[in-house]
Amino acid sequence: MKRCCPLTEFPAGSRVRIEKLCDCPRARGRLCALGLTPGTVVEIRSRSGGPCHLLVRGTSLSLGGGLASRVLASMACPPCAETLETAPATESLTKSAKA
């Protein structure tokens, strides 16, 4: 079984897979609106004890420490981490260029 920890526990440079969001409907809705859904691979860009800077689906964003601590994640396997750079828009452009 994978070890799940809050986003605030991972060092900068880590690639992690979101496993579980908090149960608070308001916070969960906010996280989902930002693209942080279970199964998503994100990169921890920096952690300075306060905000947690992330790369999510090709977009940089910052989460406050309180909200970041409510997102549980596990280390992503290397093949899964490669999907971080591949944005869905890029895939559709590639497919249309081949057609």
Other beta carbons less than 10 A from residue 19's beta carbon: 16
CATH class of 5-98: mainly beta
Domain boundaries, the chain: 5-98
Of residues 86 and 10, more confidently modeled: 10
7-11, 12-16, 41-45, 47-51 — which is least confidently predicted?
47-51
Q: If we measure between CA atoms, which residue out of 41, 53, 34 comes closest to residue 86?
A: 41
> If pLDDT is split at 50, 70 and 90, which confidence band does 95 have?
very low
Q: Is the pLDDT of residue 92 over 50?
A: no
Query: Model-level pTM?
Result: 0.72
Q: Is the pLDDT of residue 20 over 50?
A: yes
Handedness of CA 41, 55, 37, 16 (dihedral sign): positive
> If pLDDT is split at 50, 70 and 90, which confidence band does 86 have?
very low
Q: What is the pLDDT of residues 34-84, one digit of tens each?
A: 999 999 999 999 887 788 999 999 999 999 988 999 999 999 876 554 444
Q: If we measure between CA atoms, which residue out of 26, 28, 34, 25 comes closest to residue 72?
A: 28
Mean pLDDT calculated for residue range 80-91: 46
Using CA atoms, how far residue 63 sits from 31, 38, 44, 72, in Å, is 9, 16, 11, 13
Q: Could you give phi then psi for residue 64, rounded to 5 degrees?
A: -60, 155
